[in-house]
Amino acid sequence: MAEKEVDRFRSECGELDDEVRRLREEMRQMKKDVEEGKDRERRVMKRLDVVMEDAHRGKETTGRTTALYEKEIRKARKEAFKSSSALVKLQEELKASRSSLRACQTNLETERGKASRREQEAFTAQYQLVGVQEELQKMRERIKVVEEERDALKTSLQGEEISRIAAEGRIALPTGADDDEEFASPVKSPRKM
């Protein structure tokens, strides 16, 4: 019995040794797992620190970028407002220029019409002037003929006057050739007293 007890004791000891080995193995595995867990935790913490720093830098960068973006947006809006104001002003100037251009074109057309009328009037006047000059030339020729007739008549009248005066005996006429018979004194008839 004692042997059975010893065998049983040995068998229990063997089981306990196996149990202890198994527990030691589990403990080693657990220590290994704990070390790996701590190592993973350290790596995760490092990575977390890096990510947190990146996130912090990202926030700062985002903040700066947002501020710059907002500043640029304000600047762009301001420039857009100035541009729209300038555009409105330019549109008003364009409208005024178009009005002025229309007025100038109207004036130009009016002046062209006046110039055309003046040109037509000048042409008509020139045509009339040519007619008047022709009439004037005819009148000059007629005046010349009339003056010649007048001079001839005057000469004739002077001759008759001289003849009459000579006939009255106020002046003596020279006796001349047959050519001068025209200027000769008429023969007096004797007067009765």
For residue range 53-88, what is the model confidence (pLDDT) as tens digits? 999 888 888 888 888 989 999 999 999 999 999 999
What pLDDT shows up at residue 191?
Answer: 52
| Residue 193 DSSP SS3 | coil
How far is Cα of residue 167 from the mean position of the Cα atoms in its chain?
A: 99
Rounded to an integer, what distance in angstroms lies between the CA atom of residue 125 and that of residue 80?
64
What pLDDT shows up at residue 170?
Answer: 65
Q: How is the chain split among helix, strand and coil, in percent rounded to 5?
A: 90, 0, 10
Residues of the chain with pLDDT under 50: 177, 179, 192-193
Rounded to an integer, what distance in angstroms lies between the CA atom of residue 39 and that of residue 37?
5
Rounded to an integer, what distance in angstroms lies between the CA atom of residue 132 and that of residue 103?
42
What pLDDT shows up at residue 157?
Answer: 83
What pLDDT shows up at residue 174?
Answer: 58
What pLDDT shows up at residue 193?
Answer: 42
Kindly report the average pLDDT of the chain as a whole number. Answer: 84
What pLDDT shows up at residue 184?
Answer: 54
What pLDDT shows up at residue 175?
Answer: 59
